A and B are shown apart, each in its own frame.
Chain A
Amino acid sequence: MALTFRGGIHPDDRKDATKKKPIENLAPPETVVIPMSMHIGAPCTPTVSVGDTVKIGTVIGDSSAPLSAPIHASVSGTVTAVEPRLHPNGSRVMSVVIANDYENTIDQSVCPKGSFESLSPEDIISIVRNAGIVGLGGAGFPTHVKISSGLGKVDTLIINCAECEPYITSNYRAMIETPEEIIGGIRILMKAFGLSSAVIGIESNKLDAIPSLEKALPSGGGGIKIKTLKTKYPQGGEKQLIYSLTKREVPPGGLPAAVGCAVFNPDTCAAIYQAVTTGMPLVSRVVTVSGSAIANPKNLRCPVGTMVSDLVTACGGFKEEPYKIIAGGPMMGSALQGVDLPIIKSSNSILSFCGNEDTSVAEPQCIRCGRCVSVCPMNLMPIYIRMYYEKERYDELEKLNVSDCIECGSCAYVCPGRLFLTQTCRVAKARLAEYKKKGAN
């Protein structure tokens, strides 16, 4: 029996388009636009100005705030602008624009940090921070904070190889092609947490990644176990994955560390491995470019700050005019306003859709089928959240625990009446928080 959680849905995984496509390196882009905010926490302040020469790995933005991560140049060249630019999240964010000189010179600060066996947890945390590593699964939580806040509390290290969003295959390809980097990163994290074991969770639709990872394990396994998870969305949701693997539930508002867990994305592990063994900070990432409008879907490794348009061009352009472009997966990703937007550290995919895959209707209508309640992995009742939201009953919204919503999209996905349930929960959550804040003053 594959491990699993309560609720969830079974969307068509649509991974075949890129599953068999090895990761290609994108031809170096002419310019990169690197936003100073690619993580949860304080944005960075640019440390370079127009005209400066930068090399790959040169720090171009930093912050003294504890919850932040420095930002590095992803190509070598000249800074041509330091100004607010459009960010994938829809707002304008201070960004550093670099014109590529195609020399690929590497900053002198980039050097191996020695064998991880000899490093202390503090050394590892500082290497991870200086390399600007953030959670690469989508949320972008600074990794050094995750490690330092979990020290002494974490007894179970979990690697999230579920990759449960449809279309996305960037983690899968990394597991097939560079498992030694993932395993190496896991061993560094084990050392940082002082743990002798770790567990990798993989969905059952990616079973061929298991032998690949097993081959990269140190002799005797090194305490790293690989467990098969049922293919179900959102299996890779942090709280769901923790439950599937450990049967522990993260308390409301709490972090995984509250139940002794820390969860990392395999790409994050690989980035940690790179930072320790080569000293290279997080300046590139693998992006799955797919969807019905893309001529030739691919998995591409590209510098952070590459324009979405460059990725689309590298995939043969659009075979048909898209009606929607998404950064991230179709369940939780965010729609983009155009293609002149940069890839940020946490962008795992770019999907574009043509034709009419839009299932929305003019008049959404609840038929009280209760599917939203039975699929909610957080045990919520979206049907009643919507009802009380429309009546602006904040007392009832609080009793319905709307703040627990992880916005996974399952309720809206299954709704036969096509109600915007996830969207409503998201707004209800924000309104309730506002209302409570007002009440406190």
Chain B
Amino acid sequence: MAIDKQLIVSSSPHVGTTEDTRSIMLDVIIALVPALVVSIFFFGLRALTITLVTVAAAVAAEYLYRKLMKKSSSIGDLSAVVTGILLAFNLPSSAPYWMCIVGAVFAIVIVKQLYGGIGMNFMNPALAARAFLFSWPALMSKWPAVFEKAPLWGSTADTVTSATPLVALKNGTLPDYSILELFLGQHGGCLGETSAVVLLLGGVYLVLRKVITPRIPLCYIGTVALLTFIFPRGEVSNLDWMLYNVLSGGLILGAIFMATDYSTSPVTKKGQVIFGIGCGLLTVFIRYFGSYAEGVSYSILIMNACVWVIDRASRPRRYGVNRFARKAAEKK
């Protein structure tokens, strides 16, 4: 029996999963689509064009940077697309297009590629870009009211705006929206953050597809819910205060899609619990005592910076020592 071809002699394992980075990112994109559709419904076509601009800018920035640096192209893994969509979701629908491009380039080049690309960045690119874009605070905190569709072209200065529910909460009062309106997304805010129901739907999809575990979102949202329930402000019932806090602002978007970012969250189970709780504590702290009404993005960025320490402190118990070994010894 003769074999003409040279056999591959590599070390085990010889089989692997079909899942790869691209398929994971594609799942994240699928999970974000419903939120985009709802956003177009509430804020008009400009929600779509902003998303398209950030995605195009993010992909182009990644392609050009790696080309210039003579590195292999990585746009095929679709992670730049995800960053683009998430950045758009963190902008008001009235944001000018130049700002979208500046944000996307900052996210991809400064936050992601300078640190070595996917998996190497220590801050969430979309959130870091959002923080950077707050260099233009007026543009970043102008929230078009729902159905007051900002024009596709030209100045968005005349768009009718509304206060986000967070502003009311900051003042210790409940916003003028019903819980149902908040849940469906019929209120002012960043274009992808308003509709809790579709974001949760996307989250369930990601959990079912095993792209994420529910650990971080549950710990994060759970911590915010618990703290706001125990410590309400103003003359409102504990339950109302808690529900409005959970459903307002970017908490659901952040907890499901930003805090679970692989590169910038812990890899251990215990670490993910600590990370989620930490994000929750910081969010409530900033919302209660900070000068910004919203605390989600800064909370996640601060916890991003702690991931290395959290991973080190939460290493899994060594197999065969502690609890179980003792139990076995007692048995004998």
A residues bordering B, Cβ < 8 Å? 9, 11, 90, 155, 166, 239, 243, 246-252, 254, 259-260, 309, 312-313, 317-318, 321-326, 328, 330-339, 353, 357-363, 365-370, 373-374, 376-381, 383-384, 400-401, 404, 407, 409, 412-418, 422-423, 426
Contact = CB atoms under 8 A, between A and B. Distances in A.
Contacts of A313: 1
B262 A368 contact: yes
Nearest to B19: A416
Interface in B294-319: 311, 315-319
Contacts of A401: 318
A384 B52 CA distance: 37
Contact of B316 (A309, A339, A368, A381): A381
Interface in B77-117: 77, 79, 117
Contacts of B9: 90, 324, 335-337
Interface stretch (B20-28, B162-170, B197-205): B20-28
B138 interface: no
Contact of B23 (A360, A380, A404, A416): A416
Given A252-B321, A260-B328, A309-B1, A323 B7 contact: yes
Contacts of A404: 318-320
24 contacts: A90-B9, A312-B1, A317-B1, A321-B4, A321-B5, A326-B12, A330-B13, A332-B12, A335-B11, A339-B3, A353-B14, A365-B117, A367-B21, A368-B262, A368-B267, A373-B316, A381-B267, A404-B318, A407-B12, A413-B16, A413-B17, A414-B17, A416-B17, A416-B24
Given A374-B269, A384-B311, A418 B16 contact: yes
Contacts of A416: 17, 19-21, 23-24
B325 A249 contact: yes
A409 B318 CA distance: 19
A365 to B, nearest CB: 6
B3 A335 contact: no
A275 to B, nearest CB: 30
Contacts of B269: 374
B18 A359 contact: yes
| CB-based closest 4 A-B pairs | A409-B13, A370-B267, A379-B316, A249-B324
A335 B16 contact: no
A239 B262 contact: no
A416 B77 CA distance: 11
Contacts of B10: 324, 335
Given A251-B320, A335-B12, 9 more contacts: A248-B327, A318-B3, A323-B5, A330-B13, A333-B12, A374-B267, A413-B15, A413-B17, A416-B20
A362 B23 CA distance: 17
A248 B324 contact: yes
B118 interface: yes
Contacts of B118: 365, 367
B331 interface: yes
Contacts of A417: 20-21, 119
Nearest to A242: B328
Contacts of A254: 320
B320 A330 contact: no
Contact of B319 (A249, A309, A317, A400): A249
Contacts of A339: 1, 3
A363 B262 CA distance: 19
B332 interface: yes
A80 B3 CA distance: 26
Contacts, number: 180
Interface of B: 1, 3-5, 7-21, 23-24, 72, 74, 77, 79, 117-119, 262-263, 266-269, 311, 315-321, 324-325, 327-328, 331-332
Contacts of A259: 325, 328, 332
A341 to B, nearest CB: 11
Contacts of B11: 334-335, 422-423, 426
A362 B15 CA distance: 16
A23 to B, nearest CB: 23
Nearest to B74: A365
Contacts of B268: 370, 373, 381
Given A335-B10, A379-B319, A367 B262 contact: yes
B309 to A, nearest CB: 13
A333 B14 contact: yes
A321 B8 contact: no
Contacts of B318: 252, 379, 401, 404
Given A367-B118, A378-B319, A379-B316, A338 B15 contact: no
Contact of A252 (B3, B320, B328): B320
Nearest to A383: B267
A340 to B, nearest CB: 8
Nearest to B5: A321
